[in-house]
Structure 1
Amino acid sequence: MTTPLISPSILNCDIARLEDELRKISSADIAHVDVMDNHFVPNLTWGLPVVEACVNTGILPIDAHLMIEDPDRWAPAYAEAGCASVTFHAEAASAPIRTAREIRRLGARAALALKPSTDIAPYVDILPEVDMILIMTVEPGFGGQSFLESMLPKIQRTRDAIASASLDISIQVDGGVSRKTIERAADAGATNFVAGSAIFRADDAFEEIATLRSLAQLHMH
């Protein structure tokens, strides 16, 4: 049976207390760090130095989600920096296979992210090149948005495509994941759950992570 992975997004954390904030979520499986360049998405967060700082704390493995233009050029540096996983967007990559192979060559898991309006169908044939598909369940750019129920069929289609190809690829969901929505996402086929405000605004982050994990486990196939 697959175990759900809980990946808290540090988007809404107190960046001045980065190490403390990572300790607050240390019972999670991986920390999700959103890199935004104010071009691909209308928000600017942080880049390689902050991601490296997160890696160097050694508290959790780091999952870098690159919401940036030209990931073909920039993504390998995040793998070199020691990220466990590097996610780049299908809409921004001009050479997704080459980029995924380069990320893997440098020792990280490679993941392909899809915005809500991007279908999985054109990417089914390149599934063997990646370790994870990220299905955005909000429009990327800002934390605290509501989960888009309309993404559930896409999660199911992705799960079916992975099963048909007999591949071991995880499906990550990011955006509006909370106690209210995680069960439906797990039921549709998600296995890796990014939650930001749901965890960082909780009174007890450890307890919230444990609750999300158990809710997802109940609904995973």
Structure 2
Amino acid sequence: MKHLIAPSVLAANFAKLYDDIQMVNKSEADWFHIDIMDGVFVPNISFGFPVMQAIAKHAEKPLDVHLMIVDPDRYLTACKESGAEIITVHYEACTHLHRTLAAIKELGCKAGVALNPHTPVSLLRDVIQDVDLVCLMSVNPGFGGQKFIDRTYAKISDLRTMAAGINDALLIEIDGGVGDKNAALLLEVGADVLVAGSSVFSAESPTEAIRSLKNVVHGAQQV
């Protein structure tokens, strides 16, 4: 499968959000990555469902929604109704993760789990068969523009090994500090989805930045 690119709307120009949505629509990107932050689970507040609904109204590609919030179960239905096709919750925020994943799937959405940099992938062993996507945070969540944490490469490999033969369709998403300098190696060790914020929206040509990430070549093979 060709890897997927999910530009992170958090890094867009909110004064020209419609223009940035249209740019992503026309680009080679696959998803819109939507970060919902509550100022409690992470030390920042992003935007809520009204803004997400406005994005969904104009988006021509799936909304990949990352809930960086406490008690995400309270907002799953609102998330779906606001346009989400993939809903990712944090392992660290869910007391009953298996139940939460089931609730997401009952809404008709793909179910994802995000892990903070300090959280080992081994903690997902008992739910790995129930997950459509695992989002590995390669920075500490809450702010854009952070430096990529190198330990992420080993976590990708460990997760791919753990899922082998149990959930071979699992998508591994990498969120934080992703760009041209590390994209090839991320894909080489098993990543499927690259979330790109600053490296896309701060580029001189965001469309070209997306194209570059979409067409990363590693080794002798194009991914």
TM range, smaller chain: over 0.9
Indicate the residue corresponding to 1:23 in structure 2.
Answer: 22
For residue 208 of structure 1, report the CA deviation from its aligned partner.
1.1
Indicate the residue corresponding to 2:75 in structure 1.
Answer: 74
Check conservation: 1:76, 1:99, Cα contact below 8 A: no
Give 1:74's aligned amino acid: Y
Indicate the residue corresponding to 1:126 in structure 2.
Answer: 127
For residue 59 of structure 1, report the CA deviation from its aligned partner.
2.7
Indicate the residue corresponding to 2:5 in structure 1.
Answer: 6
Map Cα deviations across residues 49-95 of structure 1 (whole Å, 9 max, x no partner): 11111111133211111100111222332123221111110000112
* Residues 182-197 of structure 1: pairs in structure 2 closer than 5 A: 182-197=183-198
Unpaired stretches in structure 1, ≥5 consecutive residues:
none
**Which stretch shows the higher mean deviation, 121-130 or 35-44?**
121-130
**What TM-score results when the alignment is normalised by the length of structure 1?**
0.94
Summarize the Cα distance change of 1:191–1:217 in structure 2 as closer, same or farther, 3 Å threshold.
Answer: farther
For residue 177 of structure 1, report the CA deviation from its aligned partner.
0.1
Matched length: 220
Report the Cα distance in structure 1 between the residues aligned to 2:23 and 2:59, rounded to whole angstroms. 14
**Between the two proteins, what is the percent identity of the paired residues?**
38
**What TM-score results when the alignment is normalised by the length of structure 2?**
0.93
Describe the SS at the equivalent of 1:158: helix
Calculate the aligned-residue CA RMSD, in Å. Answer: 1.6
Give 2:168's aligned amino acid: L
Check conservation: 1:75, 1:88, Cα contact below 8 A: no
Give 2:18's aligned amino acid: E
Describe the SS at the equivalent of 2:87: strand
Summarize the Cα distance change of 1:80–1:118 in structure 2 as closer, same or farther, 3 Å threshold.
Answer: same
